[in-house]
Amino acid sequence: MQLGAAAEQAWPPFVLVSGLLLIGLVANRDGLFEQAGHLLQSLAVPPLVLLAACLVLVAVVTAVLNLDTAVVFLTPVLVHAARRRGVQEDAFMYGAVYMANASSLYLLGSNLTNLLVLGQHSVSGSAFAAHMFVVALGATLATGLGVLAFFVRPLRGLAPRDRERADWEPLGLGLPGALVAAGLTITLRSPAIPVLALGVVLTPLLTFPWVMPPRQAGAGTARTA
């Protein structure tokens, strides 16, 4: 009896996160995260500003596609952007992890813990987002400012170098899938099954090259500036 009750309480969070991870896999496959990283590193800004822009990207992906998706797919993108610009990688690596944790309070699906803690309470996604927005924004800003302050010395004196101009290529289904998933999480009281269904529908399309053609190595960049 208790085991059944525990399973009934626990399955929606894991199902929802599984769906978000599948959508994140699609977004990664069609190059959404890679293109965003190329676009950021191509900006003619100082390294500290580049780090700030990367942290904003992590916060957005965490809020929409879950903490785990942001850490797994964006950490290597940020580290690669740092290497291309010849700046300290530690700031981007730690910044990605810290910002993902700090920005996981915007939506119910942003963090598995949100779902587990509120499993016994009937809270809609819109009510959670409205109630937690100020707190989530405060956590994001505090963490971002803390990371920037900690790494201001090693990054402040570095000049931009070896910027690669980014050519934004047509996107696949990852971005619209993420936006739809965010909408489902906000509007539905029980979004787990719909989000998982969306991820299950999108994921097999990875095997159809005429729908989502494989990206070639080096795609997304044109030339070095």
Q: Using the predicted structure, report yes or no on whether residue 214 has a pLDDT greater than 60.
A: no
- In this structure, what are the phi and psi dihedrals at residue 223, rounded to the nearest 5 degrees? -155, 165
What angle is formed at CA 202 by the lines to CA 222 and CA 123, rounded to 5 degrees? 115
Angle at 80 between CA 215 and CA 48, to 5 degrees: 130
Whose CA is closest to 163, among 35, 40, 33, 79? 40
Q: What is the mean pLDDT of residues 140-166?
A: 77
10 or 25: which leads in pLDDT: 25
The residue among 77, 21, 31, 72 whose CA lies nearest residue 53 is 77
* Residue 86 contacts residue 161 (beta carbons within 8 Å): yes
Domain boundary assignment for the chain: 31-171
Tell me the one-letter amino acid at 36: A
Q: What is the pLDDT of residue 162?
A: 52
How far apart are the C-alpha atoms of 57 and 36, rounded to whole Å? 8
Mean pLDDT of the chain: 79
Q: Look up the pTM and report it.
A: 0.74
Which of 1-8's residues contact partners 24+ apart within 8 Å by CB, and which partners? none
Q: Identify which has the larger pLDDT, 174 or 148.
A: 148
pLDDT tens, residue by residue, 38-59: 787 777 788 888 899 999 999 9
221 DSSP β-pair partners? 166
